Structure 1
Amino acid sequence: MELFIDKMSESAAKDILSWRYDPPYDFYNNEQTPEAISEMLAESYFSVFDDNKKLVGFFCVGSSGQVPNEFYTYSQGLIDIGLGMRPEFTGQGKGTLFFTAVLSQIDKMFGKSSKRLTVAKFNDRAIRLYERSGFSREAEFVKGNTAFIVMIN
């Protein structure tokens, strides 16, 4: 399967905001509000499609990839990444292809630079993928009832 990346469209944003994950990943469920759609249409969001033009995921860069909190300060000089895969594609071994495509696109956009991502600590599948891709744990913080890990490469 080959993946293609495009700027976020309104239809893709609405699709993504309607995705529903099973527990405990339901933490990543969103609501389809005008504000959420507007945020996803910002310059920093991108859609990822398969060769059948099916939306398989998305990613964002910059402050959109950060988790606002009172404990960890996001320093400058790193490219922050946020991402998500369509629920029916998760847990099937497709994460490596997806994440590799995202990292490759970010390198095309910004050149080879260090990247940072923030992931919920319970998300063991994603953490294993990120570690296999060369990311290491830099810090942890708690926001609300959720612990997060900040990882860099």
Structure 2
Amino acid sequence: MELYIDKMSTDAATDILNWRYDPPYDFYNNEQTSEVISEMLAESYFSVFDENKELVGFFCAGSSAQVPNESYTYSQGFIDIGIGMRPEFTGQGNGTLFFTAVLSQIDTMFEKRSKRLTVAKFNDRAIRLYEKLGFSREAEFVKGSTVFIVMVKVEVEV
């Protein structure tokens, strides 16, 4: 499968906001509101399509990828990444190809800077993927009833 990345469109944002995940991943289900669509149409959200132009996922970069909280401070010097994959494609071994394409695009956009992501602690599948691709656990924090893990991938300057 080849993947292509494009700016987020209204159609793609609407599609993404209607995705429904099975428990416990239903934590990632979103509500479709004009505010959320407006945020997704901002510069930091991108769609990921396959060779058939089917939307398979999305990613965002920058502060949109951070989880607002009161105990962990997101330091400068990292590019924050958030990703999401169409529910039908999750849990089937597609994550490596998908996230590798996202990381490659992030490196192109941000000149291979150190990266950071925040993931719900229960999401073992995603954590395994992130560790496989070089991310390590940096911190944990609680927001509401959810524990989050902050993971980083430090790029060494050559």
What are the within-5 Å matches in structure 2 for residues 42-121 of structure 1?
42-121=42-121
Separation in structure 1 between the aligned mates of residue 107 and residue 135 of structure 2, nearest angstrom:
15
Unaligned segments of structure 2, at least 5 residues:
154-158
The separation in 2 between residues aligned to 1:97 and 1:24, in whole angstroms, is 23
User: How many angstroms apart in 1 are the aligned matches of 2:105 and 2:51?
Assistant: 16
With the length of structure 1 as denominator, give the TM-score of the two structures. 1.00
SS at match of 1:68: coil
Output the amino acid matched with 1:148. Answer: F
Q: CA deviation at 1:113?
A: 1.0
Match of 1:32 in 2: 32
Give the 4+ runs in structure 1 shifted more than 3 A: none
| Percentage of identical aligned residues | 84
Per-residue CA distance 1:87-115 (angstroms, 9 max, x = gap): 00000000000000000000000111100
Amino acid at match of 1:124: D
**Unmatched segments (≥5 aa) in structure 1:** none
Distance apart, 1:4 and its partner CA: 0.1
Partner residue in 2 for 1:10: 10
Q: How many residues align?
A: 153
Residues of 1 paired with 2:22 and 2:36: CA distance? 21
Q: Distance in 1 between matches of 2:34 and 2:80?
A: 24
